[in-house]
Amino acid sequence: MSKYHPLSEAEAIEIARSFAEVFPTGEELVSREIGDGNLNLVFHITQPATGRSLIVKQALPYVKIIGDSWPLSLDRARIEGEALIKQGELAPGLVPVVYRSDADMALTIMEDLSDHVIMRKGLIEGGVYPDFAEHLAEFLSRTLFFTSDLGMNQQDKKVQLGRFINPDLCKITEDFVLNFPYYDAESNNIEPYLRDAAEAVWRDEELLLEAAKLREKFLTHAQALLHGDLHTGSIFVTPASTKVIDPEFAYYGPMGFDIGAIVANLLLNYAGQEHWSPNEADRRDRRAYLLSTITELWTRFERKFRALWDAHGVDKRFDLPGYQDDYMKRLLQDTIGFAGAKALRRVYGLAQVADIATIPDREARERAQRLALAIARNLIVSNRSASSIEDVVRIAETAAGS
Ligand code: SR1
Ligand code: MG
């Protein structure tokens, strides 16, 4: 019989106490459940006498923000633990240290990163992260290249793909990102004043066609091991450090989905700037910072990915002149398309983002939502004709009227 049950705070403390490498002395431990995401319990265990701490994360067998009517496999905790270990090998220092993962109890016990801030919160508060683009380009280029048919043994890749079959979590994305926003689905969370904009999406045949093509790619294109949910709530930052967390959606999918996710979330913050930067000059600077972060991220990613390919490519058939250029162009186009899809679902879908949803003034929030929608639409409809990351900058600036 399964020993799984959701932990109490007292049980989380007992588990943490067994980690002598973190808590070598016997002073009191304190637990606080800090899970503010949509799916899991997260216990922050501290030892006030020594200042030592760790995180005990436990998957729940259902979608927390919906309830037990939407069951969810606990196997995602195994997938998260294995993905974190793989990402830690490929991109050292850019993910938290995993102390232990326990598939039976759906636990991942890991390094506490409370000296960092969740990037979404940091961006809302006006934080600047000068090393972020470099760090994330390093993370993405190495994790995507070395888990793909370009950079690893192609038979081993098929075996790995089997370990990361993640149907329940993929279904969340297939539904909440790539299906529900495109019709009047029950779970959409449409503010009445925004209904006309949602209805315009549902009638927009050009948009629906491109969104369907992106959905097909997500369903079928097993290109590399993705993080699978790489929004700014899945990244801890300081000005000098970046740590990617929460890869429970990891699966073999299209690389552009990961890169597009982070681009989308920087653009959602961009869309909220009328509120977060009320002074016009500050807003211009802030938006320029966000767009230059997107440009830097792609430019650095592309440079690193091509260098890895030149040095470690495993498939001679792909050495043909022009092949790499064509591959990178398609990857940029996927990035742009998925960025649009990831942004659109956050405007009136079930799970929204604080960058926009917490804007208290209704009219300012509506302007941010309409701006995010305009950007998202244009990214989606233009993805297959895009040729440069500058296309994203132009779309954002044009929509914002700057
Ligand atoms: C039910 S939607 C929950 C969302 O939260 C996660 O972070 C993913 O983005 C997912 O789509
Ligand atoms: Mg998450």
> In this model, does residue 65 exceed pLDDT 90?
no
Q: Is the CB of 350 under 6 A from ligand 1?
A: yes
Report the distance separating Cα 72 and Cα 38, nearest Å.
12
- CA proximity to 11, closest of 27, 39, 31, 25: 31
Report CA-CA distances (Å) from 314 to 157, 198, 296, 330, 399. 12, 45, 27, 20, 42
pLDDT tens across 88-135, in order? 999 999 999 999 999 999 999 999 999 999 999 999 999 999 999 999
CA of 274 to the centre of ligand 1 (A): 26
Q: What is the DSSP letter of 323?
A: H
30, β-bridge pairs:
46
Using pLDDT thresholds of 50, 70 and 90, give the confidence band for residue 67. Answer: confident
Contacts with 94 (C-beta within 8 Å, 6 or more apart), sequence order: 87, 88, 135, 138, 139, 242, 243, 244
pLDDT (0 to 100) of residue 135:
98
> Which residue's CA lies nearest to atom 5 of ligand 1?
38
Q: What average pLDDT does the structure give for the chain?
A: 97
Overall average pLDDT of the 295-319 stretch: 98
pLDDT (0 to 100) of residue 289:
98
pLDDT (0 to 100) of residue 153:
98
Contacts with 103 (C-beta within 8 Å, 6 or more apart), sequence order: 74, 75, 77, 78, 81
pLDDT (0 to 100) of residue 397:
98
Domain boundaries, the chain: 9-111, 117-400
> In this model, does residue 291 exceed pLDDT 90?
yes
pLDDT (0 to 100) of residue 37:
75
Specify the 3-state DSSP secondary structure of 45: strand
Using pLDDT thresholds of 50, 70 and 90, give the confidence band for residue 200. Answer: very high
- CA proximity to 339, closest of 134, 105, 177: 177
Ligand number nearest CA of 65 is 1
382, β-bridge pairs:
none
SS (H, E, C) 248-297: HHCEEECHHHHHHHHHHHHHHHHHCHHHHCCCHHHHHHHHHHHHHHHHHH
Report the distance separating Cα 397 and Cα 371, nearest Å.
10
Overall average pLDDT of the 367-392 stretch: 98
Name the CATH code of domain 9-111 (choices 3.40.50.150, 3.30.360.10, 1.20.1560.10, 3.30.200.20): 3.30.200.20
2-11, 58-67, 116-125: which is most confident: 116-125
- CA proximity to 7, closest of 36, 39, 42: 42
> In this model, does residue 378 exceed pLDDT 60?
yes
Q: Are 95 and 243 in contact (CB under 8 A)?
A: yes
Using pLDDT thresholds of 50, 70 and 90, give the confidence band for residue 47. Answer: very high
**Mutational pocket test of ligand 1: of 170, 172, 188, 245, the residue with most ligand atoms within 8 Å of the beta carbon:** 172
pLDDT (0 to 100) of residue 223:
98
pLDDT tens across 231-277, in order? 999 999 999 999 999 999 999 999 999 999 999 999 999 999 999 99
pLDDT (0 to 100) of residue 3:
86
pLDDT (0 to 100) of residue 36:
77
pLDDT (0 to 100) of residue 284:
98
Report CA-CA distances (Å) from 352 to 14, 170, 229, 372. 35, 18, 14, 12
Report the distance separating Cα 41 and Cα 34, nearest Å.
7
CA of 226 to the centre of ligand 2 (A): 13
pLDDT (0 to 100) of residue 165:
97
Q: At what angle do helices 323-348 and 362-382 cross, to 10 degrees?
A: 150
**Mutational pocket test of ligand 1: of 39, 345, 353, the residue with most ligand atoms within 8 Å of the beta carbon:** 39
> In this model, does residue 318 exceed pLDDT 70?
yes
CATH class of 117-400: alpha beta
Overall average pLDDT of the 3-27 stretch: 94
Using pLDDT thresholds of 50, 70 and 90, give the confidence band for residue 39. Answer: confident
pLDDT (0 to 100) of residue 201:
98
